[in-house]
Amino acid sequence: MILDHSRLCDTPALLRPAEEKVANTLGATLLVWCGRAATGLYWAYRVAQQCGRPVRRAEIILPSIACASPAATALAAGCRPRFADVDPSTGMLTLETVRDRCCEATRAVVFIHLYGQTADLRPLAAWLRDRDIVLVEDVAQAHGAVLPDGSPAGSVGDMSVYSFNRTKILECGGGLLAIRRDRYAKFLMDLVDGGPRGEIDSQTAAELALSYRNLYHALVTLRRTRTANDIAGAFLPMQDAYSGLYTRSLEDAGVIAAAWPTIARVIRKRAATAAIYSTALAGGPWQCLDGWRSSGVCWRYSLLPNSSKGSQNLTELVRRDGFRVSNLYWPLNDLFGPEDSCPAAELFARRVMNLWVDDTVTSEEAAACCRSLWRHAKVLEGENLERQGPDS
Ligand SMILES: *Cc1c(COP(=O)(O)O)cnc(C)c1O
């Protein structure tokens, strides 16, 4: 189906081959194409609110290491986002960290396959199923990846969301919600009928998205530099102004249909670039996150330098040499829920560096980026990570 201003319409013929492929791969009973992954999450949260005993405010557990939209969307859907700490070596949720944050009001857990890495989700899925808590797989960064047991990413959760927007694996525009349980599909059909009808126009959405990004980065810098402690006090009251960003209709089914057959080639090209980084960076004063090798998909090649303080300096020096490096992400609990302490996430965020592997990166550029990293690697010296605690 296609979500058009909160009406479900039949999938146009040109998108049906892609729809059939995803449905078969995931074992999904209902696919809903929409404008963004965030829109898929919005409806997943609304469905999750229908499950279990009624609570005043449903809670959604998210990994602390993620972009802001899964949390911002939870607020837009009327839920309280809660933040679980992450595995310090991957930045992803574990059964233990989820268990720590789980309570009577928990209605869903979003597992994010970060940077294309995957994990064995079966123990978490079984634990959540016993408690009637919805498991949502966010495969925005892991489109086409496989889990350690070989099953496709997105095929274990009760629902899964995909993004086809800029910076993701396919960048043609759009998003997708896949539902794997008849009961949740039925909830969605009923909810959408009474859903919000109006949407902001795309020009306003683009301006608001830029404003949101600026606000986010401005506040995160205050925490990164330890210039301010409380940034949630500034960030949370602004969230309502951006709520129109999260429910977006699919603008063009044709672009997804056209891009779909290119997925395998795009993933191969990314893996080839990741392999260059992996070989050239082996043995450095950093830990390489090589989970993309087993998952098959690399979103951004990621490193955890052995020093959190030096990591920012290294990023800056490599950027000055003309290479694209990001430090994604800042812990979401700092922005949305400071009461949820996530010390491993803070240490991870202060260390992580992400290198580009998209279509625009040539093999020469990737190799030159590695030389730049080695040239400046000495800024990581003189600091003992073991002795450093995260600042709280
Ligand atoms: C980009 C991203 C989203 C949001 O995708 P949109 O299509 O922009 O809504 C959600 N989750 C993760 C992990 C992402 O990387």
Tell me, in angstroms, the distance from the centre of ligand 1 to residue 36's CA.
Answer: 7
Q: Residues 145-179: pLDDT tens digits?
A: 999 999 999 999 999 999 999 999 999 999 999 99
Evaluate if pTM is beyond 0.75.
yes
Tell me, in angstroms, the distance from the centre of ligand 1 to residue 330's CA.
Answer: 15
17 in Cβ contact with 253 (< 8 Å) = no
Residue 15 in contact with ligand 1 by CB distance below 6 A:
no
Q: Residues 56-71: pLDDT tens digits?
A: 999 999 999 999 999 9
The maximal CA–CA distance of the chain, rounded, in angstroms, is 61
Residue 36 in contact with ligand 1 by CB distance below 6 A:
yes
Q: Which atom of ligand 1 is nearest to the CA of 113?
A: 13
Residue 312 in contact with ligand 1 by CB distance below 6 A:
no
87 in Cβ contact with 94 (< 8 Å) = yes
Q: Residues 267-315: pLDDT tens digits?
A: 999 999 999 999 999 999 999 999 999 999 999 999 999 999 899 999 9
Tell me, in angstroms, the distance from the centre of ligand 1 to residue 112's CA.
Answer: 10
Alpha-carbon distance of 278 to 348, in angstroms, equals 20
Residue owning tokens 């989970």: 291
- Confidence grade of residue 6 (pLDDT, cut at 50, 70, 90): confident
Tell me, in angstroms, the distance from the centre of ligand 1 to residue 244's CA.
Answer: 16
117 in Cβ contact with 289 (< 8 Å) = yes
Assess whether pLDDT exceeds 80 at residue 392.
no
Alpha-carbon distance of 178 to 133, in angstroms, equals 17
Question: What rounded mean pLDDT belongs to the chain?
Answer: 95
177 in Cβ contact with 250 (< 8 Å) = no
pLDDT score for 383: 56
SS3 string, 14-30, reads: HHHHHHHHHHHHHCCCE
284 in Cβ contact with 304 (< 8 Å) = no
